[in-house]
Amino acid sequence: MIKPKQKLALISIISIWVLSALLLIVATNAYAQNRPQSTNLYSQVQLFSEVLYKLKQYYVTDLNDEELIKAAIEGMLGSTDPHTTYFTPEEFKEFTTSTKGAFGGLGIQIDKIGDYITVVSPIEGTPAYRMGITAGDKIVKVNGESMVGLSTDEAIKRMRGEVGTKVQITISRPGLAEPIDFEITRETIKIKSVPYSFKLDNGVGYIRLTQFSENTLSELRAALNNLESEGIRGLIIDLRWNPGGLLDQAVDTVNEFIGQNRLVVETKGRTENKQLYTRYAVKERNYPVIVLVNEASASASEIFAGSLQDWDKGLVMGKNTFGKGSVQQLIPLSNGNGIKITTAYYYIKSGRCIHKMSNDNILKGKEVSTADLEQESELNRKQVYYTANNRKVYGGGGIQPDIVVESDFLTLFGVELRRKNVFFNFAVDYLVAHNHQFDEKAEISDKTMNDFLNYASKNGIKYTQADVDSADSFIRTTIKSELVRKVKGDAEAYKITISQDKQLMEAIALFDRFKTLDQMFSYAASLNGKKEK
């Protein structure tokens, strides 16, 4: 068995081996063009060959070349950034599934942060979402087997399976002392970019955009056509928890609001430098648009929000976005393998770079202090850029909203109720007892509330009156939402759920105060002016 220190040494050695194979031709060409530089590279290749020869000659046991080469490649790529990765043929298939088709799974977007597989966002309407899996949860076990240190691809492989089968995942959640278990039944996860779109009571349209996949533009156009046929006076586009997706879809959806032949984003790198413009002639949309974002809005969603901000076509509200602004290119290798390499960074029209450099260190498990993060944020806030109409916008490393709005806080009691699926199970029993009837216009009575609390107690959940008082509105709303879901479907249930959404409610209120986007921009500028003073 190879000991950890031996393995580390071998990874380093074989990394040179693989590197030499990739760069030998480059070194030869460079030698003819630039002798001093190539001489150094050639000597490194010679050194590699010498080390490899000695390793094969003297190492105590035979080594599995295939395993060593894969470890070497992964070790080499690991010295770059967390988004540059190696794929086996199976892993490549899993990777491409995230933007196409459907699969049997739980319904979560994940990433590896340090040694832990971490939930970036649950996908709305999926088993994980219904059970209360939330952004920031660390998946420490699957079916009792440790997930610590595994790659995202291996984690996906273990969590996916046949539709209808069950899987137990163990979560470590910030703020909770002990890990918690969830038993989840796998379902067919259909990837839909626009799960909800409807007209609000005040005449404003609402579109929830969950990701940028191959059908996003067609889904968005259909939603816009339906809402505009109903005569909306404004629009809210909700990009919170949107992890991004396909760049071309982000550009094409921006196109719907800013028009044809407008610069959306540039990619700048050593070998990749492109400017991406909108392509289609579209009708002018004169109603005001608000884009909602939060800390989990990333990549393509940041391009969308920042572009509407840069072209003065949308006011951005919420919290600073994630800051994932690097460009990856998928390059096929022999035997069906592939490599995903970071080749450039995104810069939107105003000149802002979306990428937040500290995220790379965090995702790689490096220690980043609070002081480091605060210093980075402060520097970003001091960077001033200008929109098409000369409005000031700030920062890099994510999109800074025109108006900052804090999100709701869910109490630990509320978290526990969702984790144990109490709302879902109570709604099932309630509807059985009431002949599957529930009036969606009715409020949750005190009797139903007490019945729910008794049900929670019977399921081992302990609470105080203070817990109930602090979560009363959340509990009543969620009970009603679950009951309506089973009677009227997900869309009607979602409308009830968002009635308690602080960020959304503030966006809706802004339409009641101001009729035009320019008035909203002026209000945002006045708020920022007060902060600067």
- Residues annotated as catalytic are 299, 310, 324
290, 239 contact by CB (below 8 A):
no
Element (DSSP H or E) covering residue 184: strand 180-185
CA distance 224 to 193: 13
Tell me if 102 sits within 8 A of 123, measured CB to CB.
no
- Distance from C-alpha of 346 to C-alpha of 19, rounded to nearest angstrom: 28
Q: Which two tokens stand for residue 190?
A: 């259909």
Distance from C-alpha of 112 to C-alpha of 96, rounded to nearest angstrom? 18
Q: Which stretches of 29-179 are assigned E, i.e. beta strand?
A: 85-87, 102-105, 108-113, 116-122, 138-142, 145-146, 166-172
Q: Are 362 and 378 in contact (CB under 8 A)?
A: no
Tokens, residue 169: 């995942």
Task: Report the C-alpha gap between 364 and 230 in whole angstroms.
Answer: 48
What's the rounded Cα separation, in Å, for the pair 484 and 532?
Answer: 46
The dihedral through the CA atoms of 472, 469, 121, 316 has a sign that is positive
Q: What angle do CA 277, 326, 25 make, to 5 degrees?
A: 100
Q: How far is CA 523 from CA 126, 170, 310, 383, in A?
A: 38, 46, 17, 21
> Dihedral angle at the C-alpha atoms of 213, 354, 174, 408, nearest 10 degrees?
-80
Token pair for 56: 């094969």
Distance of CA 97 to the CA centre of its chain: 16
DSSP state string for 322-368: ----EEEEEEE-GGG-EEEEEEEEEEETTS-B---HHHHHHHTT---
Residue 30 is which amino acid? Answer: A
User: Coil, strand, or helix at residue 277?
Assistant: strand
How far apart are the C-alpha atoms of 19 and 493, rounded to whole Å? 54
The count of other CB atoms within 10 Å of the CB of residue 412 is: 14
Tell me how far apart the alpha carbons of residues 109 and 123 are, in angstroms, rounded to a whole number. Answer: 7
Q: In Å, what is the CA distance from 250 to each residue of 170, 217, 301, 325, 352?
A: 34, 8, 7, 13, 17
Integer Cα distance of 349 and 303 in angstroms: 10
- What is the spatial distance between Cα 490 and Cα 130, in angstroms, rounded to a whole number? 11
